[in-house]
Amino acid sequence: MPGLYNITPFTLLDYPGEMACIVWIAGCNMRCAYCHNPDIVMGKGEKTDEDVLTFLESRIGKLKAVVFSGGEATLYPGLPDLIRKTKALGFKVKLDTNGSRPAVVRSLLDEKLLDYVAMDYKCLPETAPALIGTAKLWASFRESLAMLIEAAAQGLAFEVRTTVHPDLLSEEEITKMIEDLDASGYRGTYYLQLIQSTGDKTIGGVAEPTREFDRTRLPQPKGFALGYRNFKA
């Protein structure tokens, strides 16, 4: 059963422009080979909602936002109620998700509980079994993507991001993903994030990349911007 794994008390990186904390939720329905949070994905939650709310109450006036991440945060049955209580305390809320639970995302949007969503575009469906452990969640991801693009047009802060291991995800594949986002009407920034961990710090024990990812081979999107995280300047 997914639960509340831990709290990172302060971050300036995970909610752009805001001082925030991160509530980590244990458990995930994917097994990404490059995942650098194996303890969270494979672990169990030991924190309670009360632990989180007590912490947040002590940070009123100091922090502005709360990031719910994981693992996969939407697997936690208590997430909607916890977010309601977080919002009631005056915090902005960001959700990190793989998009596999569109019904949960829709319910949160309908209640206007989300200020920012970051969704992972993991890979193309044909490489999903090897890279993330399953291709069965592709349709759910597509439903979430369409929903969030529509919500972004109404004012939701929304970003799509992909974690890149150059030996596991090629420039040709990223090109197809860029073209897909353009065709889907995405209008935000598409962030490519170079992996930061390898070996036993990852679920799949992935090796260090043997080559550099060549950003010059990527096309310029028609309707959105490309952004890079963790790459050399």
State pLDDT tens for residues 35-90: 999 999 998 888 999 999 999 999 999 999 999 999 999 999 999 999 999 999 99
**What is the predicted pLDDT for the residue at 105?**
98
Q: Is the peptide bond before 71 cis (omega within 30 degrees of 0)?
A: yes
pLDDT over 70 (residue 1): no
Q: For 155-180, how does the pLDDT look when each residue is reduced to its tens digit (9 = 90+)?
A: 999 999 999 999 999 999 999 999 99
**What is the predicted pLDDT for the residue at 60?**
98
Q: How far is residue 180's CA from residue 77's CA, in Å, rounded to a whole number? A: 32
Strand order in the sheet with 20-25: 4-11, 20-25, 65-70, 92-97, 116-120, 157-164, 189-194, 225-229
> Would the pTM of this model clear 0.75, i.e. be above it?
yes
Give the pLDDT mean for 204-209: 95
Domains and CATH numbers, the chain: 4-229 (3.20.20.70)
